[in-house]
Amino acid sequence: MEGRFTQPDRVAQDPTRRVRGSRLASPILPESPEPGVRINRYLADCGLGSRRSCEALVRAGRVSINGDRCIELSTRVRSGDHVLVDGEPVEQGEQHITLLLNKPPGPLCTRDDPGGRDTIFDLLPAHLRRQRNLSYAGRLDRDSEGLLVLSTDGSIIQRLTHPSNKIEKEYLVWLTKPFHEEDAGKMLAGIDTPDGLARAKSVEKVSKRTVAVVLEQGMKRQIRVMLDALGYGVKRLARVRIGGLEAPGLQPGQWRFLGRRDLCQLLGETKH
């Protein structure tokens, strides 16, 4: 018989029968399933990784629901809830993930290195490394550092890398000797390289030995080659902006997911 009673079985067999001096208890009915889904499952369904890796996002305090930080794994997401990861909205049914990595000097921009050297993918958690369709847009050489976009969306990679889209990338460059103002004009006019005429969109002297360079081209080691042709050595080179997207609080080796607002800044679109 379904249900459970607190009275003895002889009473339970006849729910209409009363026992003198006692009152038949109401049955305890099976509990209805709680509405919504657990937060780790919700995030996994949004394409942010396995349930276990999504639990790590919650524990790290990177998830909020309806404006409140979510740190309890038992939290359930219900219809109409507004879920953010790293301050950006996520929704079930999303097919792609895009993230921003602050690459430190050292790791290579490649998926696998035959020599066993560290790559940018070693900076990511295991559930992201397993995403074989996760690609990077705009290589940074081993000694360079700064912002790097990775995405499972090929259209985003294409828009960021194809020269016709003219997505700006800004770099800070620390030189081995003082920079001469007249050399800025040479970089703007173009310098012949083995890969063709390399031009900077803008060059600004930040300090005696530091310049800010904006590129729309994407030639291999372009800034280093241009400055070398002018007699400068590069001590340090960091990409600090892609499109309209900057991330001054993102430390070397750290990464975060990009949401719609970030992508609008990145690609120069208007948010609707």
Q: Which residues are catalytic?
A: 141
| Adjacent-strand bridge partners of 69 | 64
User: Any idea what the Cα angle at residue 168 is, between residues 252 and 164, rounded to 5°?
Assistant: 130
Find the length of the chain.
272
Helices (H) and strands (E) in the chain, counts: 8, 16
Q: Do the Cβ atoms of 168 and 216 come closer than 8 Å?
A: yes
Contacts of 192 (CB under 8 A, 6+ apart): 198, 229
Residues 6+ apart with CB under 8 A from 5: 11, 12, 24, 25, 27, 28
| Structure tokens belonging to residue 90 | 């996520």
Closest CA to 134 of 219, 257, 253: 257
Q: How many whole angstroms separate alpha carbon 156 and alpha carbon 125?
A: 22
Give me the amino acid identity at 38: R
Task: Count Cβ neighbours within 10 Å for each residue of 222-261 and write b for 16 or more, e otherwise.
Answer: bbbebbeeeebebeebbbbbbbebebeeeeeeebbbbbee
- Positive or negative, the CA dihedral 118, 121, 125, 127 is negative
**Type and span of the H or E element at 160:** helix 154-161
